[in-house]
Amino acid sequence: MKYIDEFRDNKIAKNLAHAVSKKAEGLRPLSIMEVCGTHTMSICNFGIKDMLPANINLISGPGCPVCVTPKSYIDKAMAFSKKPEVILTTFGDMARVPGSDSSLMEEKAKGRHVRIVYSALDAIELAQKNPGKKVIFLGIGFETTSPTVAASLVYARKKKLKNFFVFSGHKVILPAMEALVKDGDVKIDGFLCPAHVSTIIGIKPYTLIAGKYKIPCVIAGFEPVDILQGIWMVLEQIRSKRPKVENQYTRVAKDSGNKKALALINEVFSVKDSEWRGIGTIRESGLFLNRKYSGFDAERVFSIKPVKTRPDTGCICGSILKGLKAPFDCPSFAKTCTPEKPKGACMVSSEGTCAAYYKHRI
């Protein structure tokens, strides 16, 4: 695979791992947070932790969109799915996340109209083919997915679609990173910033973290060579005591981001406070449909009874999402919580920290 295999090159990876070890020599134990779930996946998949020196600890951050979606969101989605006129459409990962009583997959098995789609545009197609039904799309994800959902809403508005709706659980990543740093519970010595989110938002937003909180930020690609080089760059900043924002992923992420995608987000969404699973409400961290698009907003259009969400018991997803604890610290991990019967969202999504740890037992 051109442009992928080069970044999985055995020799380059080994050399970089060696360079990281040299760079880390004599430094105190350091914790570097990989913000994005895809980074966690890649680190597990390629066995990267196995190649790092003992004083470098990688901790997983809050960048798995399925994992940070609160239970209350799932419960509401479940309530929507119970309306006979509704076809609920969702990304595959979401379907297995447990709500208070069941998951969408279980509801589907009971005969509710729940369909797994691969993009919001698939949901639009479904709406056009089923004019007698109301199609709700569960919009979740960070800046990587929100522009595509925004584009589908712009299209739906243009086509004057009356039976397509979005239930937005979209989030923006930076407020969560800042909340973790401000919270201070977990000591973060450097961030590997998400690759694809950065292709949209560019490098500027991270200057807050590097400038105000003096924490090195390196935008890194998802391939092993990218990650190892990203770690090396973080260490270099730590050594030189000059925290800044650097971009390792220059082949895709441009410093200025993707203006068109950002314009789409601004066209459709407004930023408000939002609840994160296990973390709580973070100021101005969620994207919700703005007034212009309120006719497509499932939350405004469909009335549902207030949903009682039961708090998680025996699940430490919150601490895991904050990087405070590792999956092995959880009494449920691999015992009562497995990918087949997940208790918390971190075990559901393949990008979730617990699922990645479970799969590869790192």
Partner 1 sequence: MHDLIKKLFVKELGNPLLNKLGDAAIFKTGSRLAFTTDSFVVSPIFFPGGDIGKLSICGTVNDLCVSGARPRYLSCAVIVEEGFGYSDLEKIVLSVKMTCKKAGVDIITGDFKVVEKGAADKVFITTSGVGDIYQGASLSIERIRPGDKVIISGTIGEHGAAVLLAREELKFKAKISSDCAPLNGLTSAILNKGIKFMRDPTRGGLATTLNEIAIDSGYNIGIEESKIPIKESVRVLCEALGMDPLYMANEGKVVVIVAPEAEGKVLSIMKKHPLGRKSVIIGEVKKERNKRVYLKTRIGGKRIVDMLSGEQLPRIC
Binding site for partner 1 (CB under 8 A): 1, 4, 8-10, 13-14, 17, 38, 44-51, 65-66, 91-96, 116, 118, 140-142, 144-145, 196, 224-225, 338-340, 349-351, 358-362
CB 345 within 8 A of CB 69: yes
Smallest distance from partner 1 to CB 125, Å: 10
SS3 146: helix
Nearer to partner 1, 62 or 216 (CB): 62
Smallest distance from partner 1 to CB 148, Å: 9
Please state, in angstroms and rounded to a whole number, the distance separating the CA atoms of residues 75 and 90. 14
Smallest distance from partner 1 to CB 267, Å: 21
CB 64 within 8 A of CB 26: no
Nearer to partner 1, 109 or 294 (CB): 109
Buried b (16+ CB within 10 A) or exposed e, 122-136: bbbebbeeeeeebbb
Please state, in angstroms and rounded to a whole number, the distance separating the CA atoms of residues 106 and 133. 21
Nearer to partner 1, 91 or 191 (CB): 91
Nearer to partner 1, 14 or 292 (CB): 14
Nearer to partner 1, 24 or 95 (CB): 95
Strand-pair partners of 139 = 168
SS3 57: strand
Smallest distance from partner 1 to CB 291, Å: 27
Which ranges constitute the DSSP H helices of 25-112? 37-45, 65-68, 71-81, 104-109
Smallest distance from partner 1 to CB 244, Å: 27
